[in-house]
Chain A
Amino acid sequence: MTPRQRRWIFLVAGAGLVAFYLWGLTGLPGFGNYPGPYGFAILRVAVAQTNATGVVSAINFEYRGFDTVGEEFILFVAAAGVATVLRRLRGERERSAAGEAAGRDVPPTSSAVRMVALLFTGPVVLAGWWLASHAQTNPSGGFQGGVLLATAFILIYLSGEFLAFKRLSPANLTDVVEAVGAGGFVAIGLSAVAMGLPYLKNFLPLGQVPGAVSSSGTIALISFFVGIEVAAAFILIVGELLDQTLLIRQGGR
């Protein structure tokens, strides 16, 4: 089947699929007329029950905390899967990072890029830490803070220092941090079970003021663990891809 035939068959079938999809979507109650009881019920009780003013984070880490455990494990498995798929195969050599950096003849990074990347690293780390620790008050959360923290490491690589990136994030340390993050989340849930409560029930003191940093019990703690796990997973993935690009060569070259 030639590509032109494939394209025409898809245009016909795709038009049919989109038409049925639209027919189904117009059966919904319409944009802006949300009828459902679940959302309004949670909005009524969330701040009173958890002392967290960020209702979306309260849903993520408390009301539907079990779904978040699954989501974190998807990221954990993806980092492990990338490391497995991109391992060194037979017939490839992996040069050492120091030897590779000495022998490369690439044009040096421009000073503007180096300066901007180095200037922004500190504020990015601060912003990521703030986001990961304020999940219960503002629109923030463990996941966003974690990816920002990983971005700080990428900025270090962009400022021309691949060796610094490798030294600051050795594979063993990043693996351990990621495992602590994922395991910490599960351990918080299990310690609720150890007290005779359902899995992942909020058992820490809720604090006085709704929305303070030290309020809302386990939500802040879980958000911190999720943040470091996500940061470590992204650093691992980027580190694996960088290794592939810079270090691993076909045998014989």
Chain B
Amino acid sequence: MLFTTHQYLIFFVVVFTVYWAMPWQRLRVYLLLAASFYFYATWNQWLALLVTGTATLDYFLARGIDSVQRRGLRRFFAGTSIAVNLGVLGFFKYTNFFLSSLYEAFNIAEADRYLLKVIIPFGISFYTFEAISYTVDVYQKRIKAERNLPNFLLFILFFPHLVAGPIVRARDFLRQAHRPKRWSWIRAQHGVQLIVIGLFKKLAIADFMAIYSDRVWLPDQNIAVLSTQAAWMAVIAFTIRVYCDFSGYSDIALGCAHLLGYKLTVNFRMPYISLNIAEFWRRWHISLSNWLRDYIFIPLGGSRGGFWFTARNLIITFGLGGLWHGATWCWLVWGLVHATMLIVHRAFREFAEARPSLKAALETKVGITVRWLVTLFFVTLSMAFAQPSLTAALTVLKKMFVWQVGPDIVGLPVDQNRLWWTVYLVVAAHVVVLLGLWKWVWRRLPGPVLGAACAILFVTAQVLSPDTANAFMYFQF
């Protein structure tokens, strides 16, 4: 059930109405739990049971960790929980990757026949990370194990974040699950605004950009005939699409959660205005980058050692981060490319800090513009690795830098002006927010005008939505 469908609208309206009509606080948790299970089961009931089953196991193992003092036993419970979660993730997501890589290495013919026939559960990477972070936090005594099973299950299964995040932390969510919910108009308004903005990003921008980028990104496309201009257009379209798709999803998830009285972690803070790659990762998929930092990078030693020690940790963290996105060599390379960019940034920062004149130059308006452009350029280039295969990624990169004439976007009978208008719109939206105009205007607008504006934006998003009902890109992760 996609957030952008009528089915979801009906589902949400029913859940929302019953939820707030219900006078019993405890029952609300049960209602949300049932709704979340139904939400996932509409896609696959067996996998919904699997998620519920592993979450229940995590609950009992965490209770075990909390109730015993012996270190070995605590470690056993924590290890079992992590192993089960990683085992399920590995089986569904990575088995075929390793098998196909193995078959390829040994040149086994018709390797596809020997792959497992499994479907990857939607959002498995998200709820696995949530469950692992909970177990680790309980093991490290950062939080107490949750005593209420429905509350814990809701933490994992809560439908707004279930399939594509944000990756919530137990300490943030469980507190809210215990707290009685009271209707707040302010919160509801915030939720509605987030939903409308998210829908606009997804329907009017991301799904439209997909028309351009799919001609290059889908596996069966003939990218050999791509012109340089087309390659650039496709990469730019993909860069905008991936941001609007995922941040649009996150906005809708946050908005829906707000309407039900829950606050989820903010996942994006305009990442494309970042002045360096480290800042980019503080603005892009924040819940994942925080998770990687807290549960991989810091336990590895973080940046407490020397330059090369930090570089090693970054490579491991982002290599795993790349594989988290997708079980392909391409995603691994994508992660390593980002690790390399972070290492280079770190080296350059140390270099610049030792040279006050260079540091001052980088803080001027020209310096800031150059830093922004360089960051955006490399982030955009890295998007080329979000391809089905490394060969395809390298072909796209080659097309971008080795001049080639050819059809604009292979056989695409669509007006390219709309692509550029959409790019201008995205840039303008960033400028408006960056200059503070957005807050300045919307805090001054009378309620009725703001409501009407939201309705018009909602309708415009629908009118500009293309033919396809694309699933959110991050569902596959």
User: Real complex partners, A and B?
Assistant: no
On B, residues with C-beta under 8 Å from A are none
On A, residues with C-beta under 8 Å from B are none
